[in-house]
Structure 1
Amino acid sequence: MIKEFQVQNFGCIDSIRVENLKGINLIVGPNSCGKSTLLKVLYAAKRSAELFQRGKNDESYQRLLHKKLRWTFQVDSLQSLIKRDASLSANVQFKADKTKVNFSIDKQKGLNCSPFFNAVKPTSVNSVFLPAKEILSLQKLVIKTHDLDMEFGFDETYYDLAMALNSPTTKGKNPGGFANSRKMLKDITGGVVSFDAKENRWILKKDGHTFPIELASDGIKKIGILDTLLGNRFLTKSSVVFIDELESSLHPTAISKFLDIVYELSACGVQFIISSHSYFVVKKLYLLAQKNHQSIPIISLDGGYRVDDLLDGIPEDNQIIAESIRLYEEEIDL
């Protein structure tokens, strides 16, 4: 679990520091405020730490991080990631359960991971990034673009997810909370998304019929991805799941049910860091916080930043909420 982080002069982010992250954490704000950038840089740092000294991998953490940042943000030079009006460097720190990382990107020297601040220990935990766009129908193309063509096109979050989905679903029972979550996921779709090894393609089985995944909605694909990652044991307790625009392709009812599953998994030890534009997401997480007496930080980005807790209520000056109120008042005035 990521416990705290600080990001300065990175992309469009000026400076943000958040402590005491919880099992579920929400990032909101207008377009181009840095939500996806924040998710991606935290993912790159965390995933690089997870791959450090795994198996026979003898690459340094700095080397792993350099590749992960370059392919995640699709840049030829990491110096491109420094905020344009920053005079010196971009800096990122984060602390997780068994990991403490501090790195900077200098305009002259490039990436530097300070050994004094770094404490990265080998782990078998996997974290994953779920992008807003679907991946199942593009899986082969994403892997080919990265591994064979070695070209930019799909960023590293897509590639990592495509590779994670390559692991076959294993037999045996999932842990209690995971098993219940998988059942809840199947209840949303009314079917099962799986990979057909004989046909070498993803399929949806529903109502006694089998359909190619291309005929399924993007929302069903998103739910199928999470179910697969639970079924093949890629996600375990202590995994971190980054979700960019959770509401993308999901009906409001599905959003609510999906967040029930997020809560169920967070109670098992999986951490979620979610970005959203949706009032439905904010409202549902607020209700979950109230119902379960659970702290859910909401990080609002808009030029600066502020951190509130949905356990204390929905922030009144949040843009998503403000627009909902404005539309309601406009309706009343008609």
Structure 2
Amino acid sequence: MLETINIKNCGPLQEVQWTPGPGFNVIIGENDTGKTLLLKALYALVRAVEEYGRGSDVRTFRQVLDTKLTWTFQLKKIGDLVRKGEGNKLRLEAVIDGQKVFFGFGQSAEKGVGEALEPDTPRQANSAYLPAKEVLSIEAIIRQSREIDKQFGFDDTYYDLVQAVNKPPRMGKIWRSFAHARKGLGDLIGGHLEQSGKEWYFVKGKAWHPVSITAEGIKKIAILDRLLGNRMLTPDSVLFIDEPEAALHPAAIIKFLDMLAMLASQGVQILMATHSYFVLKKLQILSVQKNMSVPLMSLSGTQPCASDLRDGMPDNPIVDTSVALYEEELEASLGK
């Protein structure tokens, strides 16, 4: 679990200090405030900790980090991530499962970090990143770009997800909350994913539909169901989600967040980037109903601001705009 975060001089982010909770955590902000950048930086660090020392991999932690950062951000030189300014250096410190880790580098860095602190013990769990767009219908292109052409095109959030989804389902008893969540996800979309050869299908009843003609929102939810079924997500995983509202209608968003709440109650830590008032309001309601903390990091304004949805909706341009629209509608209905 990500316990503390301190990131400095990363793109538009001058400094962000945050203490995420064990369940839902939300990052909000307008476009170009660094939401996805922060989410990807944290993902790259967590996955590096998980890949380091695993199996027969003999790479050092710094080498694992170098590869992860290069393929996650896909820049000509990694130093381009550093916030512009004379002498600035990017530094990301975090405590993960009680272990302090960090990396840092300056603007001149080409392909690797300048310094890094490795964990004492590798992390056994597998974390996942759900991007705003689904990956199944473009899997062949993603693999061609990364495995054969070795060219930038689809970053590691896409490639890692493709790798994870391709793990076959595992039979046997699963955690109770996961079983409930899977049933809820299945009820929501009315089917599940199946693979035949190299092709993916969405199976609904006895009908097999190619994923290329399956709705994007359905595929996004089906991917999460698959990750639960093949045990790539476990109670110790960190699940990163970018714009859960993308391609989902409001009723589906509500049910999807309800399913995620089940996973959070079982131990999955969720870090979510959004600019949807609808998502924020649903999470705020969940925080009250379940009496749970939902730490929130707002990147709007001059300084990042931490709060908790359990204490109410934050003062933020996203919320303000939604309230202003409601007031405008009310005035129009009253003929003002």
Give the conservation status (yes or no) of the 8 Å contact 2:235–2:268.
yes
The CA distance in 1 between the partners of 2:86 and 2:244, in whole Å, is: 31
Give the TM-score normalised by the residue count of structure 1.
0.95
CA RMSD of aligned residues (A): 1.3
The CA distance in 2 between the partners of 1:29 and 1:273, in whole Å, is: 14
The CA distance in 1 between the partners of 2:227 and 2:283, in whole Å, is: 23
Number of residue pairs aligned between Structure 1 and Structure 2: 329
Structure 1 segment 1-334 matched on structure 2, within 5 A? 1-85=1-85, 87-108=87-108, 111-115=113-117, 118-197=118-197, 200-302=198-300, 303-315=302-314, 317-334=315-332
Give the conservation status (yes or no) of the 8 Å contact 1:101–1:120.
no
Distance 1:212 1:108, change over 3 A: closer
Local SS of the residue matching 1:286: helix
Deviation for aligned residue 1:21: 2.7
The CA distance in 2 between the partners of 1:107 and 1:37, in whole Å, is: 17
Runs of 5+ unmatched residues, structure 2: none
Runs of 5+ unmatched residues, structure 1: none
The CA distance in 1 between the partners of 2:84 and 2:133, in whole Å, is: 28
Local SS of the residue matching 2:256: helix
Local SS of the residue matching 1:31: coil
The CA distance in 1 between the partners of 2:328 and 2:19, in whole Å, is: 38
Deviation for aligned residue 1:107: 2.9
Deviation for aligned residue 1:22: 3.1
The CA distance in 2 between the partners of 1:120 and 1:83, in whole Å, is: 30
Q: Alpha-carbon deviations, 1:140-194, whole Å to 9, x = none?
A: 2111210100000001110111111111111223211111111100111011222
The CA distance in 2 between the partners of 1:209 and 1:166, in whole Å, is: 21
Distance 1:86 1:323, change over 3 A: farther
The CA distance in 2 between the partners of 1:108 and 1:229, in whole Å, is: 38
Give the conservation status (yes or no) of the 8 Å contact 1:219–1:248.
yes
The CA distance in 1 between the partners of 2:331 and 2:86, in whole Å, is: 46
Q: Alpha-carbon deviations, 1:116-143, whole Å to 9, x = none?
A: xx43412321011110011011112111
The CA distance in 2 between the partners of 1:256 and 1:78, in whole Å, is: 38
Percent of aligned pairs with the same residue? 40
Distance 1:185 1:5, change over 3 A: same
Give the conservation status (yes or no) of the 8 Å contact 1:98–1:120.
no
4+ long deviations beyond 3 Å: none
Give the TM-score normalised by the residue count of structure 2.
0.95
The CA distance in 1 between the partners of 2:331 and 2:85, in whole Å, is: 44
Local SS of the residue matching 1:150: coil
Distance 1:44 1:20, change over 3 A: closer
The residue type equivalent to 1:331 in the other structure is: E
